[in-house]
Structure 1
Amino acid sequence: MSTDLYLRARLGESVREIIGETEMLSRMVDALGSPLNVLVPHQIVDNSEKYREVYRKHHLTGEVYFAHKANRSTALIRELAASETGVDVASLEELRHVLAAGFSGDRIMATGPKNTEFLWLAARCGALVNVDSREELVQLGELTARHPLPRVRVMLRLSAFESTGVTVLSRPSRFGSHVRQIGDLLDVVEKHRDTFDLVGVAYHLDTNGLPEKALALEGCLHAMRECVQRGFTPTAVDIGGGYGANYLAEQADWERYTTELSNAVLGTRPALTWQNHGYGLRAEAGTLRGALGLYPSHRPVAGERYLDELLSREAPSLRRPLATLLLENLYDLHVEPGRALVDQCGMTLAKVEEVRRTLSGDVLVRIGANSRDISMEEHAVMMDPILIKAAGTAGTDQPTGVYLSGNLCLEDDLITRRKVFLPHSPAPGDLLVFPNTAGYFMDFAADHALMQPIARKVAMFRDQGTWQWCLDEEYWPTKGSRA
């Protein structure tokens, strides 16, 4: 049976160059510990420019906001502060973070659940408040009545859009107000006309489906018309994030692996996962049941390409391209990519601590990290780490299938339940590079479980043609040069 079911990661030019600096990476881990998160700040600005290119293609205007929740890095936020890109914050601490990094309030959008302190600071600094419910809108109005605050720019987040023709199923969400409640929301805005500036309406859907998003965008255009009929002058539609990222270099790797995973679940080949975990698939009387619960790790239409395809799509009932409808109404378009904007912006390094063979013959590799430090399994994303052999370490040149375990005293602390195929066998002292972890996998779930340290972060930058590094919190956009 083949032992080379690779899921080879797609690597950007900068990431590939940095991985090639093997001695420097090893020294960094020796100095700062394992795991270690490595950021590439300039890449996030390059990614943002790709969204601008889509705007120019469709003759649209509006703002690109980075969804800060995808990564806590200070270096990334400071780099963005020096660019034209805005930032979307979903907590009080994120708001304080971006203000300290150099963002002015007019470039900040406040989203997510908000307490009184979050609302006050957002209003005080002039952020655009994306309101999640009627109750939140009332709370914001009462806050502005009690305290001397400037006029607050608000957007109304909507959900549960309904199709008039062919039924388009929309996943229920706890965020946003039902589109039928737009009238109630406008009543509250009307009550606070002296303190609210209604910028427009928004949606944010937990789906990759283009039909659902097209329906939601068309629904927002209808809601904008209702705003105008009520005497308001809205100017923008915000369509949130969810543009995705393409993690794998080859589609054939993904198709081959998922096919073989199905065969393993059916028992027609050896297991490919720890204890034959099926990722949503199961065998019943020789028949494959269930649905594969994995993120589509190979997505050729992702990021700015996904946005382009959405804007080129016809509105379900108006039957005209969505970009054309936005342009004809002179509406700005706001987007909030998270994962997609930090694509190729970082990686996580972990040292191999132990390699052992179980009685059943499985190879178990324990690394100096845990599944909270590298949370690909939690987000159901699959891609191979890259093995960097340490000088003088043992190991064969034969492809090896291994299970990666973490440093927590917990049975389920597996970096991934998948058997990972490496081109060489690892040994203690080697490094594993987990690429493209900046979007949610690096620090979203990181904690101090069992008093294990949280990974340090470093920022990489080019200076006089060579790669240099500094601690994440010590990075400023004035460092280095792009030459």
Structure 2
Amino acid sequence: MASSAPSVVPPAPADPNALAPAVWPEGARRDEHGRLVVGGVDAEALAARFGTPLYVLDERVVRERAARFRTALDEAARSIGSEATVYYAGKAFLSAAIVRWVGEEGLSVDVCSGGELAIALAAGADPARIGFHGNNKSVAEIERAVAAGVGAIIIDSEIEIERVAHAAAAAGRVQRVRLRVNSGVHASTHEFLATAHEDQKFGVPLSRAVEFGTRIRAHASLDFLGLHCHIGSQIFDSAGFAESAERLLAVHAELARLAPLPELNLGGGFGIAYTEADDPAPIERIAAGIARSVEAACRVHDVPVPKLAFEPGRSIVGPAGITLYTVGTIKPVPTDDGWRHYVSVDGGMSDNARTALYGAAYTVRIASRASDAPAALVRVAGKHCESGDIVVDADWLPHDVAPGDLVAVAATGAYCWSLASNYNHQPRPAVVAVRDGEARVIVRGETEADLLARDAGIAAPGVGAAGPETSDQATATGGTTA
């Protein structure tokens, strides 16, 4: 698996120890010994207690960002006579602790699988404040969501209309639903592309939304809330949202003239800074721009401004996270422009697949000390048997980076743990929450014993030779606990 994007080398920093405030968790700093401190806990202490690789999440930053996004989006909606519901998109990173944190800060929760639904419910989320996504929800998952009283199921295809209606009727319930449509707008960073059609697995064509909305309304077991759209990821401004809202509201108006349609869900995709080159607009500015666009489109189409809904995920949890690694091998490699140092660490694509999958860019710093050495161009590589096993494609570290150093990669709170795997039988790391100088495990790390316990061909202690009949061993858990 190779990186999908060419290497972009950032300019050499004046100080390779510096922590860019936009990239690192708010309040991250170096102590008097040069060690990285996040949430009041220094990185060396975390590594000594919990080992590496280690995901670290600043609870206070997650909570503050959740509250900030909820406030900004709701205030923008209120400025045009509406209100906003903000769902945390659980696919970014979901655990019981996260469900509780975002719930306490006023957010609802968005899930897209039976497993995510199970976590949200087990963590105590109010089912009425859960949205259930997915392009291929099984009948069993739909039935479970209906039985649990999930607040909204997002219908993603024509066939799901009948599936959800049947499940709701069989349960004697009226299930609230949204219809996911493709607006033809594709957005990323500050650019967007508007087309007539979309060729993707999610949603239904905008041209058929009125037809499908009418079919939804024909079922007594369904309550049609409105349209839903998601236009992309890592969006830095409101332009793409504005274009998509205009297209959606034209169809919303047709449906609203037939019967009341209370909501419009514009999805998520708000971007964050992974490197100093990234410059997302503040959410307050983006929210205000979206609100102005919605108000203008409603005026054009002569419909009341609907209630709005949004689904941020990465933008809530991404900036709050870092990943700690221990350096192993250092390998200078000649390049056309000089030398690049390959800094190999004890994790890799099993704990952060985004660089290999998407060519994602990240920022790395030595976490266990500061250094006066000049900056050296580095590529942080993992320990897996893949040439594409790269964590940080290009950044700068002090030239004296050495085996045994602790390094930290910033902005790993989203889509790292959630995409983690056991490739090469690497146990997945623990997730540790830090706040006010305290640290605690919120997701246990795996051990080699966990990996062995799931293999039915390996004898478990006190059980004998494992086989298909001893599959209960697959439920074994382990890892570091606080």
TM-score, normalised with respect to structure 1: 0.76
* Match 1:345 to one of 320, 328, 352: 320
1:259-291 CA distance string (max 9 Å, x none): xxxxxxxxxxxxxxxxxxxxxxxxxxxxxxxxx
Matches within 5 A, 1:258-337: 298-301=278-281, 303-313=283-293, 321=296, 329-337=304-312
Cα offsets for 1:360-390 (capped at 9, x unmatched):
7542211111123133413433232121246
- d(CA) in 1 for partners of 2:221, 2:361: 48
Please say if residues 134 and 184 of structure 1, whose CA atoms lie closer than 8 Å, have aligned partners that are also in contact: no
Cα distance, 1:124–1:15 mapped onto 2, change above 3 Å: farther
Aligned to 2:421, what secondary structure does the other structure show?
Answer: coil
Q: How far 1:337 moved relative to its partner? A: 0.8
Q: Secondary structure at the match of 2:164?
A: helix
In structure 2, do the counterparts of structure 1 residues 300 and 213 end up closer, same or farther at CA, with 3 Å as the change threshold?
Answer: closer
Q: CA deviation at 1:69?
A: 0.4
Matches of 1:156 and 1:3 in 2, distance apart?
45
Asked if residue 55 in structure 1 is aligned to residue 34 in structure 2, the reply is no
8 A contact 2:344–2:382 mirrored in 1: yes
Asked if residue 13 in structure 1 is aligned to residue 31 in structure 2, the reply is no
Q: 1:169 to 1:186 in 2, by over 3 A?
A: closer
Report sequence identity in percent. Answer: 22
- Could you state the TM-score of these two structures normalised by the residue count of structure 2? 0.76
SS at match of 1:204: coil
CA contact (8 A) 1:48 1:64 kept: no
Q: Does 1:130 align with 2:154?
A: yes
The aligned residue for residue 398 of structure 1 is 374
CA RMSD of aligned residues (A): 3.1
**Secondary structure class of the residue paired with 1:438:** coil
SS at match of 2:267: coil
CA distance in 2, matches of 1:423, 1:81: 41
Matches within 5 A, 1:413-452: 413-418=389-394, 420-440=395-415, 442-452=416-426
CA 188–204 in structure 1, closer or farther in 2 if over 3 Å, else same: same
Match of 1:71 among 85, 89, 93: 93
Displacement, 1:119?
Answer: 1.0
C-alpha separation in 1, matches of 2:327 and 2:53 = 10
CA–CA separation in structure 2 for the residues paired with 1:109 and 1:58? 20
- Matched AA of 1:427: A
Q: Is 2:361 aligned against 1:382?
A: yes
Deviates more, 1:7-16 or 1:68-77: 7-16
State whether residues 243 and 304 of structure 1, in contact with CA within 8 Å, keep that contact through their aligned partners in structure 2: no
- How many residues are matched? 406
Distance 1:161 1:435, change over 3 A: closer
Aligned equivalent of 1:174:
201
Structure 1 counterpart of 2:164: 140
Q: Report the Cα distance in structure 2 between the residues aligned to 1:58 and 1:206, rounded to whole angstroms.
A: 21
1:247 is the counterpart of 2:274: yes
Match of residue 225, structure 1, among 235, 253, 265? 253
Sort the Cα spacing of 1:13 and 1:187 in 2 relative to 1 into closer, same or farther, 3 A.
closer
Report the AA paired with residue 56 of structure 1.
Answer: E
Pick aligned residue for 2:174 from 151, 154, 161: 151
Q: Distance in 2 between matches of 1:47 and 1:177?
A: 32
CA distance in 2, matches of 1:383, 1:402: 12
Q: Which residue of 1 aligns with 2:461?
A: none
Residues 108, 412 of structure 1: alpha-carbon distance in 2 compared, 3 angstrom cutoff: same
Offset at residue 469 of structure 1 (A): 0.7
Equivalence map 1:77-92=2 (5 Å): 77-92=99-114
Provide the secondary structure at the position in 1 that maps to 2:84. Answer: coil
Q: Does 1:357 align with 2:381?
A: no
CA distance in 2, matches of 1:50, 1:431: 32
The CA deviation at 1:83 is 2.9
Q: CA deviation at 1:100?
A: 0.8
**Higher normalized strand content (fraction of residues):** 2
Q: Is the 8 A contact 1:41 1:75 kept in 2?
A: no
Q: 2:353 & 2:281 partners in 1: Cα distance?
A: 23
Q: Distance in 2 between matches of 1:100 and 1:142?
A: 26
CA displacement at 1:303 relative to structure 2: 4.1
Task: Measure how far apart 1:131 and its partner are.
Answer: 0.8
Amino acid at match of 2:267: G
Which amino acid is 2:255 matched to? C
Query: 2:435 and 2:372 mapped to 1: Cα distance?
Result: 35
